[in-house]
Amino acid sequence: MLKLVMFIGLFVISEMLIAFLFAITAQLFYKRIGFDFRSIIKGVIERLFLLIALVNGYAHALTFFSALKLATRLKHEEKAENVDKYNDYYLIGNLVSVIFAIIYVYIWQNSDNMVYLISK
């Protein structure tokens, strides 16, 4: 139970940090100020999907995730002068999401050691 509580706490805190990171990135690429809560929720759901799939051994979910993201990207229209900026922002966002999902899986799989050390 302690493992789950610690992990949920870590997940919530790191997701807040990721939202802040993406807000800064959006300001750099698009000159947007503030948080886009719709995008934040989508990102949390994406990372949660990847976390659950990878923890349960479904590594091929990464392929499914990539196909969904590609289908979403193909439908998106952007002004000609902003295409490169959007592509960079999109790529960075997806890579950060996948990297954090893999980090979450690693922490989940190795958290028994941390719980043991804390409970001593």
Distance CA 10, CA 63 (A): 26
Tokens (6 digits) for 116: 């043991």
Distance CA(118)–CA(120), nearest Å, equals: 6
pLDDT per residue as tens, the chain (120 positions): 778 888 899 899 999 998 888 888 777 777 767 777 888 898 899 999 999 999 999 999 989 988 888 777 666 666 666 667 777 777 888 888 899 999 999 998 888 776 566 666
**Model confidence, pTM:** 0.77
* CA 19 and chain centroid, separation: 9
pLDDT, position 75: 63
State how far Cα 56 lies from the chain centre. Answer: 18
Residues 93/43, Cβ–Cβ less than 8 Å: yes
Residues 48 and 106: their CA atoms lie apart, in Å, by 14
DSSP string, 28-87: HHH---S--HHHHHHHHHHHHHHHHHHHTT-TTHHHHHHHHHHHHHHH----GGGHHHHH
